[in-house]
Structure 1
């Protein structure tokens, strides 16, 4: 039953994402959208090949994942609200940074330093906003837990939102990375559900039973992954990109699932510590260089991507006649 709910949530997310992107691109290209918020020129960017790529996949992902959570069977009202808040809230702050941001300040340190000096950057607004989304989602997902549980859960949600965004530098990387990172927890929660007899379901301190929370976490994660995987072909084909809106929304939703499915404060603590380490490491280390320097990671990163453009060499003059 639990697997069926997850499958339904994933299918709903995938269908909403595919149909939503098609509708958004069609409307944005029409005369009715000219000069409005949805004008395709507002959402168009030029990639490294000099080709136009749309950012519309980002808000479409956030809306599709939110719709899938709303439609998913078996979720409690608080988990449904937490899931929608994570996807839609993080997505909205990502849209703001996508459309209004600039590259004057980079990284968490750069934006927080600017805030400390009274300079409000779009990235700083996003950091504060997604932090608030994390706190709201944590309070709902760990309703019966203590203050420490809620604080750690908030770090997991916000940390995952930023960590996935750090990967969105190459086609498909954010989706592949997020899916691979979420898979072990998803499988572990599914196995936990199958292995525990109903008569021995334990009541968890964060409110609800262990099995109920595992089921809810997997349903939320499935909704997010279904919508993301449906957009992967567009991302790999370099016709669309998630941008901050999609990457932040996906990370926040998967982070919420990880926080909700944690069985103890210790489980939350190691998740929060791992995500904090990843985010801090990004201030000093180029993940692109790390991936390129590892054969297995590079193979995963290149899977499904278009071949790199051949270098353009200037024509060489033909040698003159010998003699």
Structure 2
């Protein structure tokens, strides 16, 4: 009972302090980019996620608690956040989509997006390998699921609050079937609470710095809780989503669906 109380209160307090500290640092011209309304706002607001998680885990360790998978999750999420930060600040917006960045990589014209894709795959492999899976097929499945989940949340970060809402919905579903295995996901969910209002009000964009962390954490959660058939279904869904978004605008698809559009607009004051 004490552990679960701390699991809520510690990440919340740490994330509030981290946000107040880091938001002042990123409010500089190099971190300002145009959002979808052409307003200049900080593009890497998700920079608070990895440090807040890191500090929270340290506090738990000091108190005598070990967070399951922490030796794998902390370096992986920190690294993918760093790669996302590079893409947010130095990224070339002329190349679009996962396919476009991979194509440029094979043409020996690497972009920050191709760096992110390659790094995401390598980090996903690192995670999968260290989770001590039983065979090569499972290792391959886990790597692909984590890598694609990472990019999926990145695809969602195109409107205020959208990525946050997607993470909240999926993480709550995972936590409902996880049977206490995903303390790290609870911590990230609480950390997101401190950040969510600013994103929803378009004061800051999460950027790849944050969406990479959220996406990779969902990928890790899915490979931890699902068996073989669950992973097959998850991988198929992720592949279909990526194929769909390569051909169609995700925002346009959401706007055409009444329920999805309602959820997408929820809390976004002053917008139609």
Q: 1:288 matched to which residue of 2? A: 251
Partner Cα separation in structure 1 for residue 55 and residue 224 of structure 2: 19
Aligned length: 268
Please tell me the root mean square deviation across aligned C-alpha atoms, in Å. Answer: 2.0
Q: Does 1:132 align with 2:122?
A: yes
Corresponding residue number in structure 2 for 1:105: 95
For normalisation by structure 2, the TM-score amounts to 0.90
Unaligned runs of 5+ in 2: none
Of 146, 149, 158, which aligns to 1:160?
Answer: 149
Tell whether 2:212 aligns with 1:235: no
Q: Is the 8 A contact 1:221 1:257 kept in 2?
A: yes
Aligned equivalents of 1:290, 1:243: Cα separation in 2: 21
Deviation string 1:83-105 (CA, Å, 9 cap, x unpaired) is 11332121111001001111221
After TM superposition, give the deviation of residue 145 of structure 1 in Å: 2.0
State the match for 2:15 in structure 1.
17
The 5 A counterparts of 1:48-127 are: 48-72=36-60, 73-76=65-68, 79-127=69-117
1:7–1:297 Cα change, 3 Å: farther
Within 5 Å, which residues of 2 pair with 1:162-311? 162-190=151-179, 215-216=180-181, 218-262=182-226, 264-308=227-271
Do the aligned partners of residues 49 and 107 (structure 1) sit closer, same or farther apart at CA in structure 2, a change above 3 Å counting?
closer
Candidates 30, 34, 52, aligned match of 1:42? 30
Structure whose residues are more often helix by fraction: 2
TM-score for both structures, normalised by structure 1: 0.77
Distance in 1 (CA, whole Å) between partners of 2:59 and 2:246 is 38
Structure 1, 9-18 or 165-174: larger mean CA deviation = 9-18
Q: Confirm or deny: 8 A CA contact 2:44 2:208 kept in the other structure.
A: no
Distance 1:305 1:93, change over 3 A: same
**1:10 positional shift:** 4.3
Question: Partners in 2 of 1:86 and 1:135 — Cα distance?
Answer: 10
Deviations 1:36-71 (A, max 9, x none): xx5722112233445432234221122223333454
Deviates more, 1:87-96 or 1:39-48: 39-48
